[in-house]
Amino acid sequence: MKPDDIIICRCEDVTLKDILELFEAGYDSFEEIKRIKRVGMGPCQANTCGKMVQWEIAKYFGRRLEDVPFQNMRPFTTGVKLKAIKEAAEHEND
């Protein structure tokens, strides 16, 4: 298969060709790729594409997979209680 036919990140529609072009431009970390192409920022939060991106970085740059850091995980800053959502919905048409 051609690199432009291989989807790495389904959420953000990023192909292997997109990733390889970033490598050729000098980008070599998950964080850089994430900031440019939004890989790992879709609904799956890199649960689908994360390991594939790590693998491609390791393979392209001749690194061990264990030596390629995963993206920084940033949890939500505050939670929302379901009760607050329910109450807001009930009063939405007031």
Say what the pTM is: 0.73
Neighbour tally for 33: CB within 10 Å = 24
Q: CB–CB of 6/23 below 8 Å?
A: no
Q: CB–CB of 13/39 below 8 Å?
A: no
Q: What is the pLDDT along the chain (94 residues), one digit of tens a residue?
A: 898 899 999 999 999 999 999 999 999 999 999 999 999 888 888 888 999 999 999 999 999 999 998 876 666 667 778 888 888 888 877 6
